[in-house]
């Protein structure tokens, strides 16, 4: 905007001087837009919607140009602007700064890569003059084109097309076509070989970087192999990782947006402050996806299905929201955690008159002791549960105290009526590892003695992907095992007979070993 003082000053100049000053001002504005790719996109494209996660991505790309790191991975759900930013605006922005550089844009197929290349070329033709960036005469090929300074873009599918072509910036945009492609060992091997033997060998010594964006379909996909081989930057490795799941989860470490657990990721077509709409959008995606797809596509958290105790197909068959059944005993089961990255399992259900355990609720989340005990009490009140089963391996008295305190606090606050009796508390102790505890419950599922009263995406995902060799201990699996063992104790008879934990020495005598018939859990009713 020209101020009155500036207008007076311009009035004293001839037309040439005015033109020169206006041109200089326009160039200054244009140069200011080159701060990062997102600023450039927002300044040139009126349809580009700025969102907090795109600012994070823009800052990370700027750090690549600045030389903070030369390897960057970005994981987000689909349709939130990452490909437009990284595979289209970023290459144009880079050419504005380094018009002599060559950029390789690769994807799982020629069509997608070519579309990216045509879009970047369109930016050069529409906006390039502002940055002294012009197409080279005769550079008509859409797959491989150049600008007058010698730089340009080559857009091809992964696995081919880069031999003989120098590259300063290599962009890997969705190298796997879909789950089937990513789960094919032959396809993964071919991709890894191409990246190692061809793609990396085209990078130039004067200036080079690799930026990858993809759906995390498999632990050994392109990103998974790179992280396994070269490591993350914060762990002494090479790769900077920007991981932005649809729903913030502390298991992934500090959230780049500073979101609290459970907070939704912004979306370009939904106002950032409209949290209910964002939660509804991601909730619908979760409800319409199988567990593995939700966690791969939306959460960037791939897990193999091979070797899991229960198949996705079986879990789908166990979903039953229509069969009429009369509850005989209602319970809530808790696998506590101390907060942080650990998920506290809080699962509700009942034993039906059909002798099945029906899982009805999953309130599991990363919670402190005060939070999980409150969640358990509220669920117990909501379902009219007669008992709360709690695993007390790491602080039996603390677990009991936490529940009693939460119940009293909720009654004082009026969330639970004062005349409602607190359910019994059954503290149980796991005597063996998770596999030996979970296998009998998995067998109960196979025998159709456990059913799900609806879709439980996270619970199903843990059962369908957890591997016996995994160091993690999913809280939902533990809580559901506790529930099943509590409601049908016979499932636990003889299930765990290997190396039972020794009892504390009794006064006046030697310590005793519990009988193998005691099963996976030993019980004590809290009086």
Tell me the pLDDT tens digit for each residue of 46-89: 899 999 999 999 999 999 999 999 999 999 999 999 999 999 99
pLDDT of residue 346: 96
Least confident residue range of 214-218, 223-227, 330-334, 495-499: 495-499
Q: Domain 14-287 is of which CATH architecture?
A: 3-Layer(aba) Sandwich (3.40)
Query: By the 8 A CB rule, do 141 and 130 touch?
Result: no
Residue spans in the chain of domains classed CATH 3.30.420.280: 312-526
Please give the C-alpha separations between residue 56 and each of 50, 136, 255, 524, in angstroms, as whole numbers: 11, 33, 11, 51
255: left (phi over 0), alpha (psi -120 to 50) or beta: beta
Which has more confidence, 393 or 522? Answer: 393
Query: By the 8 A CB rule, do 293 and 449 touch?
Result: no
Q: What is the distance between the alpha carbons of residues 237 and 510, in angstroms, rounded to a whole number?
A: 52
Q: Which candidate, 273, 471, 454, places its Cα nearest to that of 360?
A: 454
Q: Does the pLDDT value for residue 313 go beyond 90?
A: no
438 confidence band (pLDDT: 50, 70, 90)? confident
Q: Does the pLDDT value for residue 377 go beyond 70?
A: yes
pLDDT of residue 162: 83
Residue spans in the chain of domains classed CATH 3.40.50.300: 14-287
Q: Class for domain 312-526, per CATH?
A: alpha beta
Tens of pLDDT along 138-170?
776 778 899 999 999 999 988 877 888 899 999
Tens of pLDDT along 12-44?
556 666 556 655 555 666 778 999 999 999 999
pLDDT average, residue stretch 320-339: 88
pLDDT of residue 505: 41
pLDDT of residue 89: 95
Least confident residue range of 249-258, 362-371, 483-492: 483-492
pLDDT of residue 68: 96
pLDDT of residue 109: 87
Q: Does the pLDDT value for residue 515 go beyond 70?
A: no
pLDDT of residue 525: 37
Provide the percentage of residues in the chain whose pLDDT is more than 90. Answer: 56
pLDDT of residue 14: 65
pLDDT of residue 386: 95
Q: Does the pLDDT value for residue 382 go beyond 70?
A: yes
4 confidence band (pLDDT: 50, 70, 90)? low
pLDDT average, residue stretch 106-116: 89
pLDDT of residue 527: 35
Q: What is the distance between the alpha carbons of residues 448 and 112, in angstroms, rounded to a whole number?
A: 45
Least confident residue range of 9-23, 223-237, 257-271, 283-297: 9-23
DSSP string, 330-354: EEEEEE---STTPEEEEEEEEEETT
Place of tokens 């997608």: 112
Please give the C-alpha separations between residue 98 and each of 55, 58, 434, in angstroms, as whole numbers: 22, 17, 55
Q: What is the distance between the alpha carbons of residues 91 and 70, in angstroms, rounded to a whole number?
A: 15
Q: Does the pLDDT value for residue 473 go beyond 70?
A: no
Which has more confidence, 490 or 516? Answer: 490
Highest mean pLDDT among 162-171, 282-291, 306-315: 162-171
Q: Does the pLDDT value for residue 282 go beyond 70?
A: yes
Which has more confidence, 521 or 98? Answer: 98
Q: What is the distance between the alpha carbons of residues 311 and 141, in angstroms, rounded to a whole number?
A: 48
pLDDT of residue 112: 87
pLDDT average, residue stretch 335-360: 85
Q: Does the pLDDT value for residue 526 go beyond 50?
A: no
């Amino acid at each position: 905007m020209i101020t009155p003082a500036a207008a007076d000053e311009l009035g004293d100049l001839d037309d040439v001087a005015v033109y020169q000053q206006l041109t200089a001002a326009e160039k200054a504005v244009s140069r200011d837009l080159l701060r990062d790719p997102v600023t450039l996109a927002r300044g040139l494209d009126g349809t580009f919607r700025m969102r907090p996660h795109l600012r994070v991505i823009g800052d990370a790309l700027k750090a690549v140009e600045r030389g903070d790191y030369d390897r960057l991975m970005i994981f987000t759900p689909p349709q939130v602007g990452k490909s437009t930013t990284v595979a289209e605006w970023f290459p144009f922005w880079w050419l504005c700064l380094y018009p002599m550089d060559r950029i390789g844009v690769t994807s799982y197929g020629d069509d997608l890569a070519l579309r990216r290349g045509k879009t970047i070329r369109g930016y050069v033709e529409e906006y390039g003059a502002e940055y002294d960036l012009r197409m080279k005469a005769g550079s008509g090929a859409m797959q491989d084109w150049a600008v007058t300074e010698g730089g340009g873009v080559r857009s091809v599918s992964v696995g081919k097309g880069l031999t003989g072509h120098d590259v300063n910036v290599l962009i890997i945009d969705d190298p796997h076509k879909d789950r089937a492609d990513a789960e094919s060992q032959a396809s993964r091997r071919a991709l890894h070989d191409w990246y190692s033997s061809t793609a990396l060998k085209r990078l130039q010594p004067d200036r080079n970087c690799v930026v990858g964006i993809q759906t995390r379909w498999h632990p050994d996909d392109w990103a998974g192999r790179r992280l396994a081989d070269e490591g993350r930057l914060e762990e002494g490795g090479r790769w900077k990782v920007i991981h932005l799941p649809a729903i913030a989860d502390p298991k992934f470490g500090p959230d780049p947006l500073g979101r609290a657990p459970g907070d939704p990721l912004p979306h370009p077509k939904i106002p950032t402050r409209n949290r209910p709409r964002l939660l509804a959008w991601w909730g619908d995606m979760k409800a319409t996806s199988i567990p593995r797809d939700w966690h791969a596509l939306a959460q960037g958290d791939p897990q193999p299905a091979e070797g899991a105790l229960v198949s996705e197909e079986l879990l789908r068959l166990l979903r039953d929201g229509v069969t009429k059944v009369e509850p005989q005993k209602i319970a809530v089961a808790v696998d506590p955690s101390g907060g942080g990255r650990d998920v506290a399992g809080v699962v509700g259900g009942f034993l039906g008159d059909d002798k099945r355990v029906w899982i009805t609720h999953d309130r599991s989340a990363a919670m402190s002791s005060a939070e999980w005990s409150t969640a358990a009490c509220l669920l117990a009140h909501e379902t009219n549960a007669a008992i709360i089963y709690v695993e007390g391996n790491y602080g039996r008295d603390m677990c009991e105290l936490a529940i009693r305190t939460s119940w009293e606090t909720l009654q004082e606050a009026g969330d639970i009526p004062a005349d409602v009796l607190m359910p019994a508390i059954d503290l149980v102790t796991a005597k063996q590892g998770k596999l030996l505890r979970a296998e009998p419950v998995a067998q109960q599922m196979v025998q159709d003695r456990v059913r799900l009263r609806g879709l439980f995406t996270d619970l199903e995902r843990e059962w369908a992907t957890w591997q016996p060799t995994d160091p993690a201990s999913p809280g939902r699996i533990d809580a559901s095992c506790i529930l099943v063992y509590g409601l049908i104790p016979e499932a636990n008879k003889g299930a765990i007979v290997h190396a039972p934990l020794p009892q504390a020495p009794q006064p006046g005598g030697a310590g005793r070993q519990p009988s193998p018939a005691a099963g996976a859990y030993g019980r004590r009713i809290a009086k």
